[in-house]
Amino acid sequence: MRPMNRYLPIFIAAVLALTSCYQPASRATFAIPTANETDTAAANMSQKLQRAYGVGYNFVVDADSLVIIEERPMHWSEGAVDASDSLWLRRGDAVVVAAFLVIPEDSIDSVWVKVAHDQQTMGWLHETTLLDTAYPDDPISAFIYLFSSHRWMWFLLTLAVVAVTVAVRLLRRKYTHFVHIADIPSAYPTLLILTLSVSSLLYGYIQHYCPQVWVQFYFHPTLNPLAQPWLICFFLSGLWLLLLLAIATANNAFSYLRPKEAVIYLITLAGVCVVIYLVFSLTASSAFGYILFIVYSIFALYRYWRYARARYLCGNCGAKLRSKGVCPKCGAVND
C-alpha cells in the first residue's frame, strides 16, 4: 500500500475549503407569526443577551412525543392556562422558535417558548423542556447532542471494555499487536492517543469552566476553526489533527501487518481511545486529570521510544524494523 503522507497537505486544504463556507440550511418553510406575545421589551433584550438562539431558530424534536399548549400562558394576575388545549409533536418534527414569554412567578420555569411546526401546529412550552427534548437543526449540533447523551456514553464504554478484553486475551496468546505493549513501528498511534488526550482535556475544560463558549458553539457550529474563539479554535484544530492521524495510523497498520491483524489492531486501538476520552474528559475539572495526563504522556512516549521506535530498515524492501531479523513485510532476513 502506498504511503499517504504526501497527500495529507492536499487533503487538509480540500477539507478546509469545503467546510469553511458551510452554512446549515433552515428547515422552516413557513412564515413565523408576529411575536406580539412577548411580555416586555426588557424580556426581549434579556433573551438576546443570555441565549445563543432566538426567534427564527430551528430545532428538531427528539422525544417520542412532546406536548405544547396552544393558548398563551397567563400571569397569575391574568388567570390560569387551560392545559386541555394542547397539541402533540413527534420525534423528528422540525420546529421554529416564534416567540418568548417571561412569567417570573412560574415555579417550574419562568421562560416559555412558542414553537411552530407548521401553520396549524403552534404552541407554548417551557424552555427547559424544549432544550431537554430537542436539538438544533444542524448536523454538527445533532452529532454533539447524540455524542453527549448518557446512552451513547454507556455504549462507548461497553465497546471499549469489550475491545480491550479481547486484545488482552489475544496478547496472552501472542496473536496480535497492541498500542504501548506490542505496538507497530510507527509514531502515529502514540501521537493519535496523545492528541486525543489533549483534545479530551480541552473539551472537559471548556464544558466545566467556559460553558457559555460551548453553548454558543453548540447552537452555531462550524467545522472551520478560524471562525471560533481561541478555545474552540484549538479544540477543532485538534479534531482535524485526530482525523489525519487516524488515517495515517490505519495506513501504517495495513502496511506493517496482515489485513486480519491490522483490523484487530485498529479495533483495540479504538477501544483504548474511547477509554482515554472518557477518563480525561471526565477528570478535566480537577487537578487529577492534568497530573494523570502528564504521567500518561511520559509513559506513552517512553514506550514508543524504547519499544516501538523503528531503528532499522529492511535491506530488501526498505520497511521499518524495530530490531534485526526477519522482515514482516517481505520475509527477508536482516542481520
Beta bridge pairs of residue 321: 312
Residue 27 lies in a domain: no
Q: 202 lies in a domain?
A: yes
| Residue 138 cell numbers, joined | 444542524
Report if pTM > 0.85. Answer: no
Do 195 and 321 fall into the same domain?
Answer: yes
Does residue 13 fall inside a structural domain? no
Whether residue 49 is found in the same domain as residue 159: no
Same domain, 240 and 265: yes
Identify whether residues 182 and 329 lie together within a single domain. Answer: yes
Contact 251, 1 (CB under 8 A): yes
Answer with the one of 112, 136, 160 that is the final residue of a domain: 136
**Could you list the pLDDT tens digit for every one of the 335 residues in the chain?**
344 444 444 444 444 444 444 444 345 545 554 544 444 444 454 444 467 898 999 999 998 889 999 888 876 555 544 455 788 999 999 999 999 988 888 888 889 999 999 888 999 999 999 999 999 999 999 999 888 776 677 777 777 777 777 766 766 666 678 888 888 888 999 999 999 999 999 999 999 999 999 999 999 999 998 878 999 999 999 999 999 999 999 999 998 888 888 888 888 888 889 889 989 998 998 999 999 999 999 999 998 888 777 666 665 666 666 666 666 666 666 66
Are 166 and 68 contained in the same domain?
A: no
Q: Domain check: are 171 and 307 in the same one?
A: yes
Q: Which domain holds residue 221?
A: 140-334
Establish if 211 belongs to a structural domain. Answer: yes
- Phi, psi dihedral angles at 88 (to 5 degrees): -120, 135
Domains contained in the chain, number: 2
Judge whether 14 lies within some domain. no
Boundary-marking domain end, from 106, 136, 166: 136
Asked if residue 201 and residue 102 are part of one domain, the reply reads: no
Could you tell me the three cell numbers for 248? Answer: 495515517
How is the chain split among helix, strand and coil, in percent rounded to 5?
A: 50, 15, 35
User: Is residue 184 domain-shared with residue 201, that is, in the same domain?
Assistant: yes
Please check whether residue 124 lies inside any domain of the structure.
Answer: yes
The domain boundary, picked from 115, 136, 157, lies at 136
Cell triple for residue 280? 480525561
Question: Considering the domain boundaries, does residue 108 fall inside one?
Answer: yes
